[in-house]
Chain A
């Protein structure tokens, strides 16, 4: 398995633009997580899904952020409109529902100027 696949790997965008980050979890995994990593705050859980259903989105910073999981093999994290303070690395991760090990993607490096 290629592991968790994220795209784009790097994105630079202007403030106010819409940003869409994509994730393909490991096949067979039914839990999916979006994390944000910054120097100041480390790794923060934004939202996680189980069987495509959002379970906990309390970490989503504000209404500008939204996440969807239309099927078991695809999820998106959207920021609209983007702001410079959204600059961070966004990690997607997946796991089996009954397992403990969470596998991370390589991250999407977002810079908003």
Chain B
């Protein structure tokens, strides 16, 4: 079975502080991992995907297959980063289907 775990419901930091949102997954195959962001009352948007190995809005995430983790990091948080962040897994079996974690709310205070 596929499962995504985000252990923190809420992460509160001050502006300029480093941020790490944790994500662990369980899947027997080779999944694709994503981070989606949802700003207040807006639709979910793709933030980044592990196969792209890119940095979006200063965020990066590295897939660690040994630890089955895909933590999201940013060295200096900004107030506009405050949002709900969802880690998601796609089993990559041909049909595109995302299994989401329960999400972490990031609150960046001035």
| Majority DSSP secondary structure for residues of A touching B | strand
**Stretch from B16-24, B73-81, B95-103 forming part of the interface with A:** B95-103
A33 touches B97 (CB 8 A): yes
B83-103 vs A, CB cutoff 8 Å, 1 = contact: the mask equals: 000100010000111111111
A31 touches B103 (CB 8 A): no
Q: Tell me which residues across on chain A come within 8 A of B49, comparing CB atoms.
A: 100-101
Q: Tell me which residues across on chain B come within 8 A of A76, comparing CB atoms.
A: none
User: Is residue B11 contacting chain A, with contact meaning CB distance below 8 A?
Assistant: no
- Number of inter-chain CB pairs below 8 Å: 57
Q: Tell me which residues across on chain B come within 8 A of A107, comparing CB atoms.
A: 43
User: Is residue B42 contacting chain A, with contact meaning CB distance below 8 A?
Assistant: yes
A97-B95, A100-B32 are contacts. A42–B43 as well, Cβ < 8 Å? no
Q: Tell me which residues across on chain A come within 8 A of B101, comparing CB atoms.
A: 42
User: Is residue A91 contacting chain B, with contact meaning CB distance below 8 A?
Assistant: yes
A106-B42, A106-B43 are contacts. A97–B99 as well, Cβ < 8 Å? no
